[in-house]
C-alpha cells in the first residue's frame, strides 16, 4: 500500500500571488482537503504536466478547476493554461512581518482549523 501524504510544507517562489503570498513565504498544504472557490491551492495545469503552481480557485470547469493569479500582471493562470488538477489546499502561511525582514508571523488560510496539528511540522 502506498503511503499518503496528508500535510506538506511548500516554499513560495515568484510574484504571481502577491500581495497574498510573497516569495520566501512558507505554506502548509493539506492533501485531500475540500476545494472551494476562493481557496489558494497547490495544483498542476493539465496542459503543463509536472509544473506545480500556487493559485486561487475561481470555479470548476470541464471536470477540472479554473485558477487565477492574485497578481495577473505577473503570473499566468487558467487563462493561458486551461483547467488544473488540485493536489492540496493551502491552510497555513508563515511570512515575514512588517518590512519582511526579521520577524515572522503566521495566519490560518484554511476554512477551519484541523482537529490536531500535523506531527513534525
User: Distance (Å, rounded) from C-alpha 109 to C-alpha 90?
Assistant: 7
Q: What is the pLDDT of residues 44-88, one digit of tens each?
A: 999 999 999 999 999 999 899 999 999 989 889 999 999 999 999
Q: What is the pLDDT of residues 5-50, one digit of tens each?
A: 799 999 999 999 998 898 889 999 999 999 999 999 999 999 999 9
CB atoms < 10 A from the CB of 121, how many?
10
Q: Whole-model pTM?
A: 0.79
**CA count, 13 A, side-chain hemisphere, 118:** 13
Amino acid at each position: 500500500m502506498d503511503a499518503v501524504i496528508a500535510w506538506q510544507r511548500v516554499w513560495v517562489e515568484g510574484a504571481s500571488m502577491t500581495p497574498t503570498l510573497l516569495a520566501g513565504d512558507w505554506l502548509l498544504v493539506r492533501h485531500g482537503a475540500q476545494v472551494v472557490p476562493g481557496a489558494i491551492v497547490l495544483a498542476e495545469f493539465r496542459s503543463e504536466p509536472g509544473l506545480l503552481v500556487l493559485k486561487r480557485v475561481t470555479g470548476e470547469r470541464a471536470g477540472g478547476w479554473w485558477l487565477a493569479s492574485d497578481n495577473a500582471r505577473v503570473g499566468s493562470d487558467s487563462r493561458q493554461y486551461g483547467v488544473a488538477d488540485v493536489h492540496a489546499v493551502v491552510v497555513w502561511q508563515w511570512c515575514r512581518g512588517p518590512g519582511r525582514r526579521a520577524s515572522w508571523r503566521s495566519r490560518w488560510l484554511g476554512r477551519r482549523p484541523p482537529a490536531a496539528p500535523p506531527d513534525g511540522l
